Structure 1
Amino acid sequence: MAEDPDAGQDLPVLDDAALQDLRDEAGDDAAQKFMEEYLVMLPVRAAKIFKGLTRGDTETTLEAIISLRVSSGMAGARRLESYCASLESALKHGHSPDMTAVKAVLFANIRQVVREASRRGHLPPKSHGSAES
């Protein structure tokens, strides 16, 4: 069983219910901060997955995929969560996913999440992470 590049295509890019659950449990500010940090960390998490795949380090790759899967679930990024689950399952079953395909599908999913988050007003302020004071 290889990873399924179409995993979760029937799922929403962003499910507001997950973020609402977080708001209900932790408050509006905490939910917004989580979503902002999640979006900022997407490229970092993707890079860890690629680094692990490039090195053939299954343990590191799985750790990065699980981190992205769980945080995506909390953020309501259902398609990305589903793709990560598919990739995780493939690795656990001893499959070596095609790096080019993983990059293409992972980045496509990340772009969709960022675009939808932007549309819904979830992006962090432009000064986030900059050297400005």
Structure 2
Amino acid sequence: MTKKYGTSPDILIDDENATMIAGMVDDPTAVVDTDGNKYLLAGTPLTASKDFELSDDGSVVLVPTTDATAVQGILRQDYNILEGAIPASIITSGTINRHRMNSDTQKTYTEEFKNSLKAVLPKLSVIDRN
């Protein structure tokens, strides 16, 4: 089997006007792909049982959510989580491009989801540009 290499998409449009916070991420429901990896994809909305912004000791692990009212941040790039929770860049404000996300992740960002997301991440904008 030939291993495919590539760069991870970066959904963030403007680093200088954005806020990214390091956080631990994992997805207990993710399955191993044909290359033997498990990925969390760029643009994945994330949540945790407590506020990850208040803890920098790795004790809070963010996981995917489809509930816009529970979102604490958006995953900036793809991460391989085969070995479990890993540190990642989490976007809490700025402009993200839905067009740069995987097609399945894009489907999460319905108009209803984006409108609800504004209440919890008011400084986050979602655009859809080539």
TM-score bucket (shorter structure): under 0.3
TM-score computed with the length of structure 1 as normaliser: 0.23
Q: Which is helix-richer, 1 or 2?
A: 1
Scaled by the length of structure 2, the TM-score of the pair is 0.23
Query: Which structure carries more relative contact order (alpha carbon 8 Å, separation 6+)?
Result: 1
Instruction: Compare the two structures and name the one with the higher strand fraction.
Output: 2
